[in-house]
Chains A and B, each alone.
Chain A
Amino acid sequence: METLLFLLNGFREVLTPFNLLIVAAGSVVGTIVGVLPGLGPTSAIAILLPVTMVLDPVQGIIMMAGIYYGAMYGGSTTAILMNIPGESSSVPTALDGYPLARQGRGGAALGIAAIGSFAAGIFGLIGLVLLAPVLADQALKFGPPEYFVLLLMALLILFNISGRSFLKSVIMGAAGFLASFAGIGLSSGVPRFSWGIPVLAGGIELISIIIGFFAITEVLKGLEERRVRIQQEHIKRTFPGKEDLKRSGMPIVRGSLLGFFLGILPGFSATVTSFLSYDLEKRLSKHPDRFGKGAIEGVAGPESANNATSSGGFIPLFSLGIPSSPPLAVLLAAFMIYGLTPGPVLFEQNSAFVWTVIASMFIGNIILLVLNLPMVGLWAKLTEVPFGLLAPAILMISLLGAYSVRNSLFDCLAAVAFGLLGYLFHKFQWPVIPFILCFVLGPKMEMAFIQSLEISSGSWLIFVQRPVSFALLVLATVLFILSSVLMKRTRKGKDAGKGAGLKERQPIRTIETWEGKGS
C-alpha cells in the first residue's frame, strides 16, 4: 500500500506539462538516435548525456530513461526493416522480422514489436515497483563484506558474458580499476596515480570514457564499414491484423515472463533472454519450419523478452546499484554524474526521485506506443541520413559534450584518446564493458573492501564467515556457470543467425554510398 502511494506521488510529479514534455522528448530523441545506422541505446545515452546536463537530476534521468526506451524501440525498427539489429539483443527479431518485411508485412511486424515491447515494458515496470523496494530494504542490512561480495559477484558474471575471453575481460576490468584510482585517495586524501600531473589529480572524467568508447569509436567503426545510405523494405500499414495478434498473444506473455525473471539476475542480458525466447517459441510451435521465414511469433517473443529484461534490469540498478547491461552501466554513470548513487540508500534518501523516475517510465512506454506506431514511416526515413553528414555532427557534439561537463579541454582530449583506444579494443576483441563497470563501481568496491578488512582486523575470512556473504559467493558460482552455458548457446544462435543471412550493421541494399557523394 505504501508502495502504491509512493508511485501515485511519482505520477503526480511526472504529470506536469514540462515533465511530460521531457518524457516525450526523451522517447522521441531516443527513437531517432536508435534508428540511425549503427547507434544503439548505449551510444544514444552516451551522446545525449551532456546535452541533458542543463536539466535538474529528476528531469535529466527521466529524459535518459526515455532515451533508453526509445533507442531500444529504434533498434527493433532497423532490425525489422533493414536487417540491421541496433543491439545484439535485436538479432532474433531480425531473423523473422526482416523476412516479414520482405513479404510486405513489415508494418505488422513493427506493430507487434511495439505492442510486445509495450506489454513487456509495463509488466517489467510492475515487477520493478513490487520488487525493487523489497530488495533495497534487504540490501540495507548488508554490511561492507556483503556489499563487496555482491559487487564482486556482479562483476565476475558480467565479465563472463562481456566478451569471448574471460581473461581479456579481467584485464580490461583491472585497467578500469586503475583508471578509477587516478585522483585523491579514498582514505588518506593523498593524490595517487597522478605523477604530479595536475589534470590527473582531478581524476579522469567518466563522460570522456563513455563518449570515447561509445560515440567516437562508433563513428570510427562506421568509417571502416563504409557505412552507407540504406533503403528499407516497404512498411504498408503498421497495425497488425487479428490473426497476427492472436498468434502473438502467448509469445508476448511467455517472452515477458522469461525476460523479466531472468533479467533480474546478473548475467542474463537481453541478448541471452531474447535468444532463449526465440528458441522457446520455435520449440513450442506446431510449425517450427516457419521460423526464419517470417513467423510473427519469432518477433513477438524475443521483442517482449528483450524489453522485459531491460525493465527488469532496473531492479538491481535501483536497489543494489548494479547495472546488468551496457546501456544500464552508462545510465548508472549518468546517475553518478548527477550526484546520485543508485543502491539501497537511494530508496531511503531520494524516494521522491526514484518514484518519479519509475512513474515516468510508465508514461514513457505509453508515449512510445502512441507516437511510434503511426510514425514508423518517418523513423524509417531517418536511416537515409548520409553518414558523411551524420558522423561529423556526432563527433563534434561528443567532443563539445565532453568539454561541457568540467569546461576542460583535457576531457576533450581524453575522449578522443578513449575513442581511438575503443576502436582498437573493438578491433582486437577486447571488451570495453568490464572497463566501464570497474571504473564506475571501483571506488565503491574499494571502500567496501577496506571497511571489511578494518572490521575483521585484516582477516579475509570475513567474506566467507558471514552467512549472507557466503551465500552470495555460492550464488555467484552457480550464476557464473549457468551464464557461461547460456552464453555459449546464445553465441551459437547468433552464428546461426549470421549464417542465415543476417548482417550486423551491414546494408542489404543501398541507394548510394556516402563515399560517392560530391567531390
Chain B
Amino acid sequence: MRKIAGIPRKTGAFISLFLGIVSVVEAARLYPYRTDFWAGDHIFPGLIGAILVAAGLFLLLKREESSRRFVLPGGKIGRKMTATAGVLISYCLLIGYAGYVFSTFLAFLFLLRIIGNYRWADSALFSGLFTCALYLLFSEFLKTPLPNGFLF
C-alpha cells in the first residue's frame, strides 16, 4: 500500500492549471470566428479556462485541511487492478484486428482468471459461454455489427 498525502491535491491543481491554459489558448484560436466580442464559440472556453486557472491556483495555495492519507492499493490487489485495466485496454486495441469472437473469448478468459481466480479450464468454459451470450445479445438482439477480424 502506498500512502499519499497532499500530492493528489497538488496534482489536481496542476492539471486544473494546465487544462485552464489549454482552454484559454483554444479560446484565443477561436476568437477570429466570433460574431461579437462576447458572442461566439470562444467565449465559454475562455471563461471556463479562466475558472480552471483560478481554481487551480486556489487549490495549490490552499492549506491542507486534514491529515488524511490516501492509500493506493499495492501488492496483490494492485497487480490485479493493473492487470484488469491492461486486459480492457488490450481488448479495445485487439478487437479491431482479431474480431469479436477471438478477442472477447481471450478477454473473458483473462478477466475470469485475474478477478475470479478460476482454473484455466473453468475460465475457458465460462469464457465461451459469456462470449456466446454477448454475441446473441449484441449481434442478434441489438443488431450491432460486431467487428470481424482476421480470424472470425
Contacts and interface: CB of A to CB of B under 8 A. Distances in A.
B132 interface: no
A450 interface: yes
B147 A409 contact: yes
A53 B142 contact: yes
A391 B12 contact: no
B148 interface: no
A181 B20 CA distance: 13
9 contacts: A185-B33, A193-B45, A223-B77, A224-B73, A396-B130, A427-B72, A457-B36, A514-B116, A516-B117
A192 B34 CA distance: 13
B116 A389 contact: yes
A516 B119 CA distance: 11
Given A170-B51, A171-B56, A453-B43, A190 B116 contact: no
Contacts of B56: 171
A519 interface: yes
B59 A167 contact: yes
B108 A396 contact: yes
B48 A174 contact: yes
Contacts of A51: 137, 142
SS class, residues of chain A in contact with chain B: helix
A214 interface: no
Interface of B: 8, 12, 16, 19-20, 22-23, 26, 29-30, 33-41, 43-45, 48, 51-52, 55-56, 58-59, 62, 70, 72-73, 77, 80-81, 84-85, 88-89, 91-93, 95-96, 104, 107-108, 111-112, 115-119, 122, 126, 130, 134, 137-138, 141-147
A409 B95 contact: yes
Given A409-B96, A449-B43, A404 B138 contact: yes
A407 B73 CA distance: 34
B47 to A, nearest CB: 8
A450 B111 contact: no
Contacts of A393: 130
A223 B84 contact: yes
Contacts of A216: 88
A468 B73 CA distance: 51
Given A167-B58, A192-B29, A396-B130, 12 more contacts: A171-B52, A178-B23, A187-B35, A188-B33, A188-B41, A220-B81, A388-B118, A400-B146, A413-B92, A453-B36, A514-B117, A518-B119
A416 B85 contact: yes
